[in-house]
Amino acid sequence: MREVAAASAAPNPRALTSALLYLDNITVSFDGFRALNALSLVIGEAEMRAIIGPNGAGKTTMMDVITGKTRPNQGVALFAGTQDLTSLDEAAIAQLGIGRKFQTPTVFDMHTVEDNVLLALKEDRRPFSNIYWRRTPHERERIDELLERVRLKDSRFRRAGDLSHGQKQWLEIGMLLAQEPRLLLVDEPAAGMTDQETADTAVLLREIAQTRSVVVVEHDMQFVRDLDVKVTVLHEGSVLAEGPLDQVSADERVIEVYLGR
């Protein structure tokens, strides 16, 4: 049975004034194992945050809670100050404006790059509307803008399955952006990329974070350095350290449990 701690029922008003995402005292247990242990995290509007930590630190479970895949045993999870994420299912949370990109890109391989973005556009998808659908000038303009943003304008007529791994990652990011999210959760985007693709992805995410919030889970420390954002270190389901990368990298606790000597 889900138990909500009384202490978590009254979030800090000061933190909520600028928070897009507010997690407080989030705890998740699986058969006695605490995947998250009183986790608290605040993400502001148009903020990018890097989340790092060893395997088993709770990074994936944290994203599962935010997107409604996992219900916490206790704690508060609020979006845009008022929306209680713990009471909503995955579809409702996506409709609120939270998009998630998993480590392995998921695209429609047999369709063109352009059609992948078209299928992802935030439009009326009810059956009656689809019967009479015609591509509008606004949709063409939006697709052009998205393809330009994710560096795939010259590949618009290529099959998505023919793209490189890095380009597929960009395409999926473009598909998420087509849904006009306010918050993007991006899981290890640099995994499997070439050095140039990794550098370009860091630039892309910094551009995106100018207009929306982005949470990046990553193990590649050079990539995290290129993002040049505040870093949160998770360990055993809790926040171990938080701050600029140089600061957390010098923390003896972080060195001990994650970075090594």
Q: One digit per residue, pLDDT tens: the chain, 261 residues?
A: 444 443 444 555 555 557 899 999 999 999 888 999 999 999 999 999 999 999 899 999 999 999 999 999 999 999 998 889 999 999 999 999 999 998 888 899 999 999 999 999 865 555 544 544 556 777 889 999 999 999 999 999 999 999 999 999 999 999 999 999 999 999 999 888 899 999 999 999 999 999 999 999 999 999 999 999 999 999 999 999 999 999 999 999 999 988 765
C-alpha 253/C-alpha 239 separation (Å) is 11
What does the pLDDT read at residue 182? Answer: 95
C-alpha 179/C-alpha 162 separation (Å) is 24
What does the pLDDT read at residue 128? Answer: 42
The two three-digit tokens of residue 222, written as one number: 């050079």
| Same structural domain, 217 and 110 | yes
| Same structural domain, 261 and 171 | no
C-alpha 142/C-alpha 179 separation (Å) is 11
What does the pLDDT read at residue 14? Answer: 54
CATH number at residue 147: 3.40.50.300
Domain coverage including residue 13: 1-96+229-261
What does the pLDDT read at residue 74? Answer: 94
| Same structural domain, 61 and 124 | no
| Same structural domain, 89 and 17 | yes
| Same structural domain, 156 and 208 | yes
What does the pLDDT read at residue 6? Answer: 39
| Same structural domain, 130 and 216 | yes
| Same structural domain, 90 and 5 | yes
| Same structural domain, 122 and 54 | no
| Same structural domain, 78 and 160 | no
**Which DSSP string do the residues of the chain spell out, in sequence order?**
-----GGGGS--HHHHTSEEEEEEEEEEEETTEEEEEEEEEEEETT-EEEEE--TTSSHHHHHHHHTTSS--SEEEEEETTTEEGGGS-HHHHHHHTEEEE-SS----TTSBHHHHHHHHS-----HHHHHT----HHHHHHHHHHHHHTT-GGGTTSBGGGS-HHHHHHHHHHHHHHT--SEEEEE-TTTT--HHHHHHHHHHHHHHTTTSEEEEE---HHHHHHHT-EEEEEETTEEEEEE-HHHHHT-HHHIIIII--
pLDDT 10s digits, 32-55: 889 999 999 999 999 999 999 998
| Report field, pTM of the whole predicted structure over 0.75 | yes
- The position carrying tokens 């352009």 is 114
Cβ within 8 Å of residue 68, ≥6 positions away: 85, 88, 89, 90, 92, 93
| Same structural domain, 42 and 107 | no
| Same structural domain, 194 and 140 | yes
| Same structural domain, 53 and 65 | yes
